Amino acid sequence: MTRPLALITGSFRRLGGHIAARLAQAGYDVALHASHPGEPDGEVVAAIAAAGAAHRIFAADLGDGDAAAGLIRAVRAGFGRRVDLLVNNASCFRTDDAGYPTSGSLAAHFAVNAASPFVLATELAEQGGRSVVNILDQRIAHPHRDQLAYTLSKQALAEATRTLALALAPRVRVNGVAPGLTLATEDYSADQVERLAAMMPLERLPDVDQVADAILFLAHAEASTGQMVFVDGGAGLVSFDRDFVHLAR
């Protein structure tokens, strides 16, 4: 029996890599994507191989509309079959978004975080795919004053999730997962992460397996579309004044 095929954008490492490995363990072959040619983390490749899944590597700059439009077709050609599941995980988070964003910064964020997921979803529908899961951000529930271009683009993706769910029904289901702080960068200290966890309603932050499991649930939830699942320790229920990196220092 042929395994279903999943494309996970931005999946060479970090959260995207964990999602790819989890889907491989659940029975999918996986297409790994990055914005530029390179090699995925060895741990990601090893986990996929241990699951008995096939993988191939694809590069496409999702800030380029033509490149985004061609990615689904490239994956289909590479595997010789359709993409069943699309996980729109790749994200633009530029350092020039610290204050009021320029028009260029807005355009860059919207191209990767909102326009390319829209294009990829419609391309998936054209070639017979069945499910899309968009990776959002818990901040869409209570936006704050930091990283405005990023936040606006993720809010746009949340609305695109609902709109595409209706536009692509009944052939394709479109849902979203909104994580909280999951993999802290080097900008956070270990003590800060512990204090941030204590600030959440559930007094904990999510881990990568919990985010991946939510994606897997939505991928198989045949009666659900246009839904958004928050995996964030309850952060989406609280209004924070600043981005987490500025809090609990």
Q: What is the pLDDT of residues 202-218, one digit of tens each?
A: 999 999 999 999 999 99
The tens digit of pLDDT for each residue in 99-112 reads: 899 999 999 999 99
What is the average per-residue pLDDT within 70-95?
96
Instruction: Give pLDDT tens digits for 150-177.
Output: 999 999 999 999 999 999 999 999 999 9
- Average pLDDT of the chain is 97
Token readout for 106 is 């807005």
Interval 126-138 mean pLDDT: 98
* Residue 81 pLDDT greater than 80, yes or no: yes
Q: Is 4 exposed, middle or buried (0-12, 13-18, 19+ CB in 10 A)?
A: buried
What is the mean predicted confidence (pLDDT) over 191-199?
Answer: 98
Confidence of residue 95 (pLDDT cuts 50, 70, 90): confident
Q: What pLDDT, on the 0 to 100 scale, is given for residue 190? A: 96
Residue 198 has pLDDT above 90, yes or no: yes
Q: What percent of the chain has pLDDT over 70?
A: 100
Look at residue 138 in the predicted model and tell me its pLDDT.
Answer: 98
**Rounded CA separation 93/143 (Å):** 15
- Give residue 60's pLDDT band: very low, low, confident or very high (50, 70, 90): very high
Helix runs in 190-233, H state only: 190-199, 208-220
Segment among 60-64, 67-71, 92-96, 195-199 with least mean pLDDT:
92-96
- Only one residue has tokens 């746009």, namely 156
Structural domains for the chain: 5-246 (3.40.50.720)
- As a whole number of angstroms, the distance between CA 150 and CA 134 comes to 15
d(CA 173, CA 166): 9
Note the pLDDT of residue 96: 76
Number of Cβ atoms within 10 Å of the Cβ of 182? 18
Whether residue 94 is predicted with pLDDT greater than 90 in this model: the reply is no
**Exposure string (b/e) for 11-49, b if CB count within 10 Å is 16 or more?**
bbbbbbbbbbbbbbbbebbbbbbbbeeeebbeebbebbe
Confidence of residue 135 (pLDDT cuts 50, 70, 90): very high
